Amino acid sequence: MPGALREKLSAAVGPANVLTGIELSPYVVEGRTPDAAVFPGSIDEVAAVVGLAANEGVPVTPWGGGAAASVGMPAARAGLVLGLRRMSRLLEHEPADLTATVEAGMTMGAFQAALGGRGQWMSLDPADADRATVGGVLATNAFGPRRHLYGAARDLLIGVTVVTADGAVVRGGGKVVKNVAGYDLPKLFVGSYGTLGVIVEATVKLRPLPDHEQLQAVRFERLKDTGVAVKAIMGSDLIPSAIELLDAAAASSAGLAADTPAGGAVLVVGFDGPREQVAWQCAELARILVPLGGQQTRTLEAEAWSRLAAAPGTARPATAAVMTFSVVPSLVAETMDRGAGIARARGLHSAWAAHAGVGAVRAVLASDAAPHEPAAIATVLGEWREMARAGGGHATLAWAPLAVKSRIPVWDDPGAAGRIMQRIKSQLDPGNILNPGRFIAGI
């Protein structure tokens, strides 16, 4: 990095907020070290940093808590990490309006704690809440079990402030819960992985905290049977807040049911609301599931929610890859069952978990061999992806060593829509400085 740029950055954000050299170790991704990490303290400073980088053609990687830093291809060129940790204030919370405006660098955990103090929450529960920031969660479209009832980031974000690649500060949406004025920019930025702009502030819809919440875990002898069970729940009068499906490996590592037989599964269903409604639903759930093979229904402690959000992320110590799938809900159990079979056939272990009602499946692949054989890993991942595509879904390689990523694309082929995405990218970031090469379709 030219020394002149470093000086300008120091001038823009203060020398203490520009890290270089050994201090950069937390920001090394896939062995690649950025030129500098810069921590602006205001929107104007973010704009200044991006503007400087744009002038120099230096890539910028927006960085919240680093929870998803290894998703996607690492930047082709070294550049700046733009950290948002100094921008972590809750700016506005008007309970009677059920909205809040927050700086992007606030962690989800801190945000929820502040809202919870006034009886409300942002109904999004991704893993790693103490590390993941609001901006990061939005940019990566992260979610958790309660997406089933409450939707994803796209359903909650009503206003967004971003710094675009030319250093302009742009606001999209607004502070009201319903708004169709102009294009829906919040949708554009949710899940865009920092390739179109740096999210610096967000206004989100809130909900009142439920009076009561309960998680019911039901064991099944065979994973295959759970497809019918999930369908029965979804077709019933129940209004679950979450429908989680874990195979035996994932259930055991999440500490939910160590005794689940191989080939079996645990279905975890969450309910919230007034106590009498939760009680009625738990009873109704048992009534529905027992004839379908559900066994040993038990109530989980509240702490299990966060383990469900992370499952099966820690299923095996020797994780070789993590893949996420989006499939139609009716294919979730089959995807898990067949996917595990594909891995077994190649002599690899896998563990599977899903937010079953929304068709979001996650799998970890592991091998006993050390070091892993990247070719074999990539082969299984390729077959998994084909399986998802055949059912009208798609798969993303959420994490893998570079040796694997170089053999199988991180992102699936978006087809003709990819050209539109490329056009959007070139309109909004013509110099290609925001997370270049990290995202889909070469973006």
CA dihedral 400, 402, 405, 411 (to 10 degrees): 80
Provide the minimum distance between the beta carbon of 262 and other proteins in the complex, in angstroms, as a whole number.
Answer: 28
* Nearer Cβ to other proteins (234/403): 234
| SS3 assignment, position 56 | helix
Residue 197: which of 395, 36, 413, 53 has the closest Cα?
A: 53
Q: What are phi and psi of 91, to 5 degrees?
A: -85, -40
CB of 112 to other proteins, least distance (A): 16
Between CA 388 and CA 327 the distance in angstroms is: 7
Minimum gap (Å) between residue 288 Cβ and other proteins: 14
Q: Which is nearer to other proteins, 205 or 372 (CB)?
A: 205
How far is the C-alpha of 341 from the C-alpha of 146, rounded, in Å?
Answer: 28
Of the pair 186, 312, the CB lying nearest other proteins is at: 186
Which alpha helices (H) appear in 327-373, and where do they start and end?
332-345
Would you give the end-to-end CA distance of the chain in angstroms? 23
**Closer CB to other proteins, residue 261 or residue 274?**
274
State in angstroms the smallest separation of the CB of 65 from other proteins.
22
**Least separation in angstroms between CB 215 and other proteins:** 18
148/349 with CB nearer other proteins: 148
Dist. CA 158–CA 154, nearest whole Å: 8
Cβ atoms of 362 and 392 within 8 Å: the answer is: no
> In terms of CB distance, is 306 or 396 closer to other proteins?
396
C-alpha 111/C-alpha 133 separation (Å) is 9
Nearest CA among 25, 92, 82, 22 for reference residue 48: 82
Report the residue number, 96 or 370, with the smaller CB distance to other proteins. Answer: 96
- Residue 377 CB, shortest distance to other proteins, in Å, is 21
Closest approach of other proteins to the CB of residue 437, in Å: 14
What are the DSSP calls for 271-301, one per residue?
EEESHHHHHHHHHHHHHHHGGGT-EEEEEEP
